[in-house]
Structure 1
Amino acid sequence: MFIPIPIFAALWTYEQWRWLKTLKADMAKAELTLLKSQINPHFFFNTLNNIYGLVVEKSEQAPEVVLKLSDMMRYTIYNGKEDLVPLEDEINYLKNYIGLHKIRYQKKVEIVFTHEVHEGIKVAPLLFINLLENAFKHGVEEMRENAFVRINMQSKGKQLLCTIENSFDERESNHSKGIGLENLKKRLDHLYPGRHELIVEKKEFIYKVQLNLEIL
C-alpha cells in the first residue's frame, strides 16, 4: 500500500523521537544505577576490621556489630536498587550506621537523631547516607573533643526536611565536595527535578547541610 511521502516522513520523525526518548530514559536509568553503586564502600571495610578486633578481644559487642552491619549490607544491596522505599526503612538504615559509629568510637561524641515524619512516606533509597557519612568523616573523625553530629528529619505536608549539623576543626577538616556529594546532586537532579533543594552552610566551626524534598 502506497504511503504518501509527507505521512511517511511524519511517521519516521515520530519513530525517531520515540526512540530518542527511550534512549535518554535508558541512559538516565543506567546513570542512576552507576551512581548508586558508587556509595562509599570504605565504611563497610573499616567496620569489618573493627569486628575482627572485637572478636580478637572477645568483646560482647561483636555480635551486635555483626548484626547491624549485616542489616546495612542487606539494605544497600536489595533495597538500594528499588525506585522508592519507605522512609521508615531509610531511618532505620541511618540508625544502624550511627549505632556502629557509637560502638567503635573511643572518645566522647554527642550524636543525636530526631525525627518526626508522617507514616506512608516513600523516598528514593540511600539519599541521606552520604550527607551523614560526611558529617562523621570530615567532622567527628578529626576532632579530639566537643565533637557532635545532630540529625533532624521532619515532614510538613508535601515537604520532607532533613538537616545534619556537625562540629569540625577548621585546622584539620577538609569539607571538599567529594564524589559522594556530587553523586547525590546528580541523583537528586534525576529523581527530584525541580522538587529538591540542597543547602550547605559552614560557619563558626559548624558544618550544616539541609536537604529539602517535595514528596508526591
Structure 2
Amino acid sequence: MKLLKKNYNFASFEPFIIIAFWALLFASPLLFGRYEKQIEWDQVFMVWINYLPLLGLFLINRFILLPKLFFKSKKLLYFVVTSFVILIIATGIYAFDKNNDIPNIKPQTMEFKKGNPPPMHQGRNFPPPSDQRLSNSPKPIPLFANFLILAVLLVGFNAGLQISMRWANLEQEKFKIQKESVENQLAFLKNQISPHFFMNTLNNIHALVDIDTEESKKSIIKLSNLMRHLLYDSEGKSTSIKKEIEFIESYIELMKLRFSSKVKINVNIPSEIPDKLIPPLLFTSLLENAFKHGISYNKPSFINILMHFTEDKLVFEIENSNHPKKDDEASGIGIENTKKRLTLLFKNNFDFKISETKELYKVNLKIPL
C-alpha cells in the first residue's frame, strides 16, 4: 500500500522551457516572415542581431541579478539595478541606431511638361505624390522602445519562471520531509510490542524445558516465527493478512504459557482468508493491552478475539475482562500510538471505537481492504 505518491521533479523541466522559448523567438522571423520567393537572410540576421541584447539581459538577470539580489532578500535593490541595466542597454541601442540611421531617400515625383495638366482618370486626379503618402503612413517603433517593451516582458517571464521553479523545489522538499517523517513515525509506532514480552516468554520456555520438552521446543519455534515476522516481514509497508493472522496466533499461544486454564481465551478467525495486503503489526498494541490489563490472577478473566471480513473491510474486535492496573497510564500510550498510526495510514478512512465498563473493555477496529 502506498502512503504517498511519488512527486515529480518539475524543476528539471526549466531548461527545456528556456530552450523552447529562445528557439521559438529566434525562429520567429523564419516562421512568420513574409517573403515572396525565398528567405531574405539579410533581414533574418538583422532581426537576430536585435535579439542579442535581450539574450544578454536574460543571462545577466538569470545568473547574476536574481540569485545575488532577488533571492537574497534584496528585492528593492534588484528592481533598481535591473531597471538601470535595462536603461543602459536601451541607451546603447538608441545611440547605435542613431549613428547608423539610413538617410531617407527622396521619392521620385512625376514631372509634366509646361502647359500640360496632370492626367485625369474618369474625372479624378491621380493619387497624390508618393512623398505625401509616405508622410501619412505610421512610423515604425524605434529599436530602443521596442527593446524596452520586450525587456520588461522578458525580465518578468524570467523572474516568474524562477519563482515558480523554486516554489516547486520547496514543495518537493517539504513533501520529502513529510514522507520521511511519516515513515519514521510508522517505523516507531508499529514496533510497540513490549520487550518484557520476550523476556517473560523466554523465562516461561526455560521453566517449561524440564516439565515438557516437546512443548518447549514448539514454543521456541513459535517465538522464532514471531520474531522473524517482527524483524523481516514487517519491514515492508504491507504484509498479507495470512501472515498477520499467523503472528496473532503465535502471540496468543506464547501468552498462554504464562496463564493457567482459568483464563479463558477465545479466538474466532475464519478459515478463508482474503488474499489482500494490510499494514503490518496493526493489532500488536491491542493484543498486548488486552493480555496486560485484562487478566487477573485472583479473579476470573477472559479474552475474546474476533476477526471477520466484508467485501471491502477487515473487522477486528477484542474484548477482555477489565482489571485496571496501577500503570493504566502506560497502557493508554499503546492505544494512542495505535490511533496515531491508523491516522497516518488511512487518514479518516477507518473506524476505531473503544467501550469500557467496570467489567468489560472492548475495542472495535475497521480498516479498508
TM superposition shift of 1:36: 2.6
For 2:364 and 2:236, locate their aligned partners in 1 and report how far apart those are by CA, in whole Å.
24
Name which of 274, 289, 296 aligns with 1:134.
Answer: 289
1:108 equivalent in structure 2? 262
**How many angstroms does 1:107 deviate by?**
4.1
Q: Is the 8 A contact 2:234 2:281 kept in 1?
A: yes
**Counterpart check, 1:10 vs 2:164:** yes
Distance 1:35 1:27 in 2: 12
1:75 paired with 2:229, answer: yes
Q: Which residue pairs with 2:192 in the alignment?
A: 38
Report the CA distance shift for 1:146/1:160 in structure 2 as closer, same or farther (over 3 A). Answer: same
Q: What TM-score comes out, normalization by structure 2 length?
A: 0.54
Shift in Å at residue 26 of structure 1?
1.3
Contact kept, 8 Å, 1:138 with 1:173, in 2: the verdict is: no
Taking the aligned partners of 1:125 and 1:84, their CA distance within structure 2 comes to: 6
> What is the match of residue 120 of structure 1?
275
- Secondary structure of the structure 1 residue equivalent to 2:232: helix
Q: 1 CA distance for matches of 2:320 and 2:286?
A: 11
Q: CA deviation at 1:49?
A: 1.1
Q: Are the aligned partners of 1:40 and 1:180 in contact in 2 as well (CA < 8 Å)?
A: no
Q: 1:208 to 1:42 in 2, by over 3 A?
A: same
- Distance in 2 between the 1:41 and 1:139 partners? 19
5 Å matches for 1:1-216? 2=58, 4-57=158-211, 59-116=213-270, 118-140=273-295, 142-169=296-323, 175-176=328-329, 177-215=331-369
> Aligned residue pairs: how many?
213
Distance apart, 1:8 and its partner CA:
1.2
Q: Higher strand share goes to which structure? A: 1
Q: Which amino acid aligns with 1:125?
A: P
- Whose radius of gyration is greater, 1 or 2? 2
| Separation in 2, partners of 1:173, 1:38 | 20
Matches of 1:168 and 1:179 in 2, distance apart?
17
Decide whether aligned partners of structure 1 residues 181 and 208 sit closer, same or farther in structure 2, where only a CA change above 3 A counts.
same
Amino acid in structure 2 at the alignment position of 1:130: S
Alignment check: 8 A CA contact 1:108 1:145 kept: no
Alignment gaps of 5+ in structure 1 = none
Q: Secondary structure at the match of 2:355?
A: strand
Superposition deviation, residue 39 in structure 1: 2.6
Amino acid corresponding to residue 294 of structure 2 in structure 1: G
More helix per residue: 1 or 2? 2
Any stretches of 5+ residues in structure 2 without a counterpart?
1-54, 63-157
Contact 1:196 1:214 in 2 (8 A): yes
- Distance in 2 between residues matched to 1:187 and 1:91, nearest whole Å: 19
Distance 2:338 2:279 in 1: 11
Contact 2:190 2:282 in 1 (8 A): no
Aligned residues of 1:158 and 1:214 also touching (Cα < 8 A)? yes
Question: How far is 1:196 from its partner?
Answer: 1.2
Residues 25-78 of structure 1: per-residue CA shift (max 9 Å, x gap): 111112211223333121111101111212244543211111111110011100
Offset of residue 168 of structure 1: 2.2
Q: What amino acid sits opposite 2:344 in the alignment? A: H
Cα RMSD of the aligned pairs, angstroms, is 2.0
C-alpha separation in 1, matches of 2:320 and 2:269: 17
TM-score by length of 1: 0.90
